[in-house]
Chain A
Amino acid sequence: MRKVMTGHKAVAEAMRQIEPDVVAVYPITPQSEIAEYYAQYVHDGVVHSELVPVESEHSAMSACVGAAAAGARVMTATSSQGLALMVEVLYIAAGMRLPIVMALANRSLSAPINIHCDHADAYLARDAGAFQIFCESAQEAYDYTLIAQRVAEHDRVRIPGIVNLDGFTLTHTSQVVEPLEDEVAKKFVGPFQAVHPLLDVDHPVSWGTFAMPDYYFELKRAQQAAIEEAAGVFLEVQRAYASLTRRRYAGFIEPYRMDDAERAVVVMGSTAGTAKVAVDALREKGDKVGVLKVWLYRPFPYAEVAQALAKVRAVAILDRAFSFGALGALYSDVAAALAHSKLRPTLANYIYGLGGRDVTVDQILRAFAELKEARPETRLRYLGLRE
């Protein structure tokens, strides 16, 4: 049944249906509502979950790791500085191969302190070993929360997963969302299978042991294999979800009017919607333009991105955060994806929308206009910046 709800409510509803055994969470703007919704579910007794209202995000992820190692299905959520505090333990969760799924209400990083959207927090966790999905809408945030749980817990994967949704733009605005019936959602996610749980006291295991140079490298190599596996499993789970819901989810990326596109923008998150409006306007005028939206950011879909952009003449890659001292992180990934292509589009890198700066259709139109004159260059361009 279609309902009007915020992105936060959509994520909280998915979490209620997943019904993790343990939710450890700490408030931070703009994530707090997820914690509040879930606390209400627990206090109303509609879920069996144990809520651990921790004293910091560091402890949130630490409690999640403890609970997951104990044999529980575990979820959390955070944002910005919260993720920054958590990131030490996120790396450890990945190294310990624990399938902890979290919503990340994307928000800028201090300083200056700012509560609004950009992707600096997601980029901070880029190399942590968690898979990352970016959502364009509240519907996607709901759908990909269910999908992420099944990907994370798959026995070939077992790593943490992050579902990104743009702070305020998605978290606090109301949209039409069509959630699954509880029983359908529960059946889709399936029961949780613990591996070597601490609570199996008859079969004692040690978790989080230390490895010297004789083993460390191989263990980290195995972790890389796990996140590579996450790509294939993502496709399997996404396909199952698409056939269950008849939603048009197919692949790591979503091409929009890309078939004959000569110019394209590559984006993640809610800006994809803005870019689609710009593309529709330009198509009306006969311009051959398109949008390539990236759903799965880690593991990065190099081959699919290269294929999608192979015949495009010029591409603008939009990064919603700096990677200080370097070109944008998404740009670097796309450039690497195209490094071995025979036909290489000319690439431009735009930084946009930092700290909640409005992202407008006009900004995207400007990027498309500038792409007409695009020449090979290695520099940053900006959208919506006063200079």
Chain B
Amino acid sequence: MPSIKALAQREEANARFTSGHTLCAGCAEPIVVRTVLNAIEEPVVAASPTGCLEVATSRFPGTAWNVPWVHVAFENAAAVISGVEAAYKALTKTGAVKKRIRFVVFGGDGGTYDIGLQALSGALERGHDFLYVCVNNEAYMNTGVQRSSATPACAAATTSPVGKAIPGKPQDRKDLTEIVVSHHVPYVAQAAVSHLVDLANKVERAMKYEGPKFINVLTTCPLGWRTPRDSAIVQSKLAVETRYWPLYEVVEGKYKINYKPKEHVPVEEWLKTQGRFRHLFRDPQGKERIAEFQAAVDRHWNDLLRKEQCLSGDEAGQG
């Protein structure tokens, strides 16, 4: 498994994603992109849907991508990579392409959970050999922090604002990771930008499999979450410690939780550090909403524990 040092050495030898992009100060996205690209040894072709990452890395005539990269539109990155991968198969057959090449999509939550879900589902079902990395910052940050189906309940976004009648987003977030699991693809995982070695390990494990691979990476956004610019890693770490964002993987249908926090840290500890949840600590009904939020986190965590117990690779665990 690659250590931080090994990743840094690969970065130094050949930076696959370079400086000069225009992502915001404190944005966690480039950390995810670098870590993923450095964790793959073979040549990579990358694709992105429209979004922060795409806009900030590809202003003509410049580019921050030092691997072949393609963007087409917002809702179709998984279909685009399907075409790239199909071309690779065909041209390998004819002998025109001889190298082993790997394919990676970096898509935001809007382009993955919402508008790109159909294309993603299609590509997963068809079994193309690619890794889809959802760079999930939980809202449409590129267009100005509008709510997506990845946005957590109660969070303030510009299309789920804190109003007198409705305080923030009324609905819970969609569980995309489990939707992908339901496609029975060889490798599915959740990771977080705070746990880079875990992320790199997951990429390395994923790339051992032929077929579709999916990693949902929690990626903090200081602008949208209304947090200090130097807090991206701390925020992500708290999301993991509070069990709001479990680090787990589903390898050939077998569940494994990669990190189980020893102490029970209430999710309130994470919520209170972010401007998008500030209203919860001012409203009279805030306490109730935080309790509901905690209940949802606990339910999800306990579900995951049960799945791990019932669907682990360990025979003894299969009660």
Contacts and interface: CB of A to CB of B under 8 A. Distances in A.
Interface of A: 21-22, 24, 48-50, 52-56, 58-60, 62-72, 74, 88-89, 92, 96, 198-201, 204-212, 215, 219
B125 interface: yes
Given A54-B122, A58-B119, A204-B69, A199 B86 contact: no
A247 B70 CA distance: 42
Given A21-B87, A72-B86, A66 B71 contact: no
B287 interface: no
Contact of A72 (B82, B87, B122): B87
Contact of A201 (B63, B67, B73, B76): B67
A210 B59 contact: yes
Contact of B68 (A54, A92, A201, A209): A201
A60 B86 CA distance: 12
Interface string B47-88: 100000011001111110111111111011011111110111
B54 A210 contact: yes
Contact of A66 (B59, B72, B89): B72
Of B55, B68, B83, B121, which is in contact with the most chain A CB atoms at under 10 Å from its CB?
Answer: B83
A212 B59 contact: yes
Nearest to B89: A50
Contacts of A201: 43-45, 67-68, 99, 101
Given A21-B94, A48-B94, A198-B68, A62 B119 contact: yes
B118 A70 contact: no
A198 B45 contact: yes
29 contacts: A21-B90, A24-B83, A24-B86, A48-B94, A50-B89, A54-B126, A55-B119, A58-B119, A59-B78, A62-B76, A62-B83, A63-B86, A65-B72, A66-B47, A66-B83, A68-B83, A68-B87, A70-B84, A71-B87, A72-B91, A89-B73, A199-B91, A201-B45, A205-B69, A206-B65, A208-B71, A210-B55, A210-B59, A211-B59
Contacts of A211: 59-60
Nearest to B67: A204
Given A198-B68, A209-B71, A22 B80 contact: no
Given A59-B82, A209-B63, A50 B68 contact: no
Given A204-B65, A204-B67, A219-B60, A21 B122 contact: no
Interface of B: 43-45, 47, 54-55, 58-63, 65-73, 75-76, 78-84, 86-91, 93-94, 96-97, 99, 101, 118-119, 121-122, 125-126
Contact of A63 (B82, B89, B97): B82
**In the complex, the 6 A-B pairs of residues with the closest C-beta atoms, listed nearest first:** A66-B83, A55-B122, A63-B83, A72-B87, A59-B79, A70-B87
Contacts of A88: 73
B45 A199 contact: yes
A325 B81 CA distance: 40
Given A206-B65, A210-B60, A215-B60, A62 B84 contact: no
Contact of A50 (B43, B63, B70, B90): B90
Nearest to B45: A198
A65 B73 CA distance: 11
A13 B83 CA distance: 23
B18 to A, nearest CB: 11
Contacts of B122: 54-56, 59
Contacts of B78: 59
Contacts of A71: 87, 91, 96-97
B80 A52 contact: no
Contacts of A48: 90, 93-94
A62 B94 contact: no
A341 B89 CA distance: 54
Nearest to A203: B68
A27 to B, nearest CB: 14
Contacts of B91: 21, 70-72, 199
Of B71, B90, B96, B119, which is in contact with the most chain A CB atoms at under 10 Å from its CB?
Answer: B90
A50 B82 CA distance: 11
Contacts of B62: 209
